[in-house]
Amino acid sequence: MYDTILISTDGSDTAQLATERAIDVADRYDATLHVLYVIEHSREDPTVKGYEEKISEEINHADTVLEQAAEQANERRLTVETAREQAVPRRKSKSTPTKTMLD
């Protein structure tokens, strides 16, 4: 029924529960599990003191969280792929929903 399961995580308790559920689903359907961690860059000037250190700490945290998720999936002998991305969160949608889009 499912070939691929994608879960996004931030390492929080809630995300950990979601990861466990995603592993259950991937196991049930023999699906590949993809685990994604997105590091949000702020719109701050990257030259601000402490910015690079903050990002470095977040990268280390992301790698730890992804490694733990992969270990959990590997215990069930699942195929798992992990990815860490960096992005600036969008403040406003580029498009406004229309009535047709909402129907």
Interatomic CA distance for residues 83 and 50, integer angstroms: 25
Q: Where are the domains of the chain?
A: 4-89
Check residue 95 and give its pLDDT: 53
Interatomic CA distance for residues 9 and 25, integer angstroms: 16
Check residue 82 and give its pLDDT: 96
Check residue 99 and give its pLDDT: 46
Q: Which strand (E) or helix (H) includes residue 80?
A: strand 80-87
- Helices within the chain (DSSP H only): 13-29, 51-75, 99-102
* Per-residue tens of pLDDT for the chain, all 103 residues: 889 999 999 999 999 999 999 999 999 999 999 999 999 877 666 667 777 888 899 999 999 999 999 999 999 999 999 999 988 776 655 555 554 434 4
Reported pTM: 0.79
Check residue 92 and give its pLDDT: 55
Check residue 43 and give its pLDDT: 65
Question: What fold characterizes domain 4-89?
Answer: Rossmann fold (3.40.50)
